Amino acid sequence: MATVIAKLKVMPVSPEVDKESLKQKVKETVEKMDTICRNVSDEPLAFGLYAIYVLVEMEEREGGTEPVENALAELEEVESVDAVEVSLV
């Protein structure tokens, strides 16, 4: 099996969500999924809203990044999760 590197975009429910706390929860959730969390960063968008980008490394498997995306989407402070980039290594 090949190794997959994916960049996921996590959008919080509102600008009032504590950025650092959410980043920590995202990292913990990813690592519980038998996935390596390479990087977690944030990027301002507009009007105080920001996106969190997560770089994950995982073994290629059926369903791709969907299980990780679904786990992140279940976090209370998360509005949506999208795979922005996916690449085989």
Per-residue model confidence as pLDDT tens digits over 27-48: 999 999 889 999 999 999 988 8
Whole-number pLDDT of residue 89:
85
Domain that holds residue 83: 3-88
Question: pLDDT digit string (tens) for 47-65?
Answer: 889 999 999 999 988 888 9
pTM: 0.92
- Could you give the number of structural domains in the chain? 1
Sheet holding 3-12, edge to edge: 36-46, 49-59, 3-12, 78-88
Please, what is the Cα angle at 55 between 58 and 66, to 5 degrees?
A: 55
The domain that holds 15 is classified in CATH as 3.30.70.60
